[in-house]
């Protein structure tokens, strides 16, 4: 019995020592990590907000100078090219335009930070106004895979790949035609 008690105490001490080593970060380092995660989450929210408002200049401004967007709308590198791709595929918003027919929900962001680089996997759900009623209807669901970089103290998207899950689409495959009704809605919103 005494032997078991000694073994349990040794295992407990070993467990506490390894937990202490994992928490060896200073308070300043832990606060910096929380601030970095908060800034990255804010970018993810701004991404959806700018997209839904068709503020493609604001949207493209979230990307690094060599940032890349890869997904169902195509592939573009650099903020100007990303903005041009979106304006071409989704159309420019007219002055005073208010989106009343669709929005993006972004969730479940898993953020890994290594110094001035981060990798994020998150999910999205794109909702549109149902054709037969005044209610939201899910149209697309998928996963974003993002690589971010800190430039001059500000986090920017270096690469975003969007992978459709429902309907399934490989983000690295050539872009398919938009789902039925999406192209017409995008042009008339």
Would 5 be classed as within a structural domain? no
For residue 56, pLDDT beyond 60: yes
Structure tokens at 74: 């195509």
Q: What is the mean pLDDT of residues 11-31?
A: 68
Would 45 be classed as within a structural domain? yes
For residue 54, pLDDT beyond 70: yes
What CATH number is attached to the domain comprising 167? 3.10.450.50
Number of domains in the chain: 1
Q: What is the dihedral of CA 55, 133, 187, 166, to 10 degrees?
A: 80
State the pairing for strand pair 63-71/136-151.
Answer: unpaired
If you search the block for the tokens 């809605």, which residue do you land on? 185
Would 105 be classed as within a structural domain? yes
Q: Domain range for residue 90?
A: 27-188
Would 15 be classed as within a structural domain? no
Would 13 be classed as within a structural domain? no
pLDDT digits (tens, 9 = 90+) for 111-157: 999 999 999 999 999 999 998 888 999 999 999 999 999 999 999 99
Would 120 be classed as within a structural domain? yes
Would 50 be classed as within a structural domain? yes
Would 20 be classed as within a structural domain? no
């Amino acid at each position: 019995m005494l032997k078991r008690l000694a073994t349990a105490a040794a295992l407990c001490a070993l467990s506490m020592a390894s937990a202490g080593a994992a928490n060896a970060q200073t308070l300043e380092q832990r606060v910096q990590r929380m601030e970095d995660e908060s800034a990255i989450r804010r970018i993810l929210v701004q991404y959806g907000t700018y997209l839904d408002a068709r503020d493609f200049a604001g949207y493209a401004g979230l990307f690094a100078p060599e940032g890349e967007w890869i997904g169902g709308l195509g592939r573009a590198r650099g903020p100007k090219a990303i903005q041009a791709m979106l304006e071409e595929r989704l159309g420019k918003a007219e002055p005073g335009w208010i989106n009343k027919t669709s929005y993006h929900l972004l969730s479940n962001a898993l953020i890994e930070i290594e110094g001035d680089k981060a990798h994020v996997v998150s999910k999205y759900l794109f909702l549109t106004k149902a054709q037969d009623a005044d209610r939201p209807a899910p149209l697309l669901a998928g996963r974003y895979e993002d690589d971010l970089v800190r430039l001059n103290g500000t986090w920017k998207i270096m690469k975003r790949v969007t992978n459709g899950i429902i309907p399934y689409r490989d983000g690295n495959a050539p872009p398919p035609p938009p789902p039925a009704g999406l192209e017409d809605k995008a042009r008339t919103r």
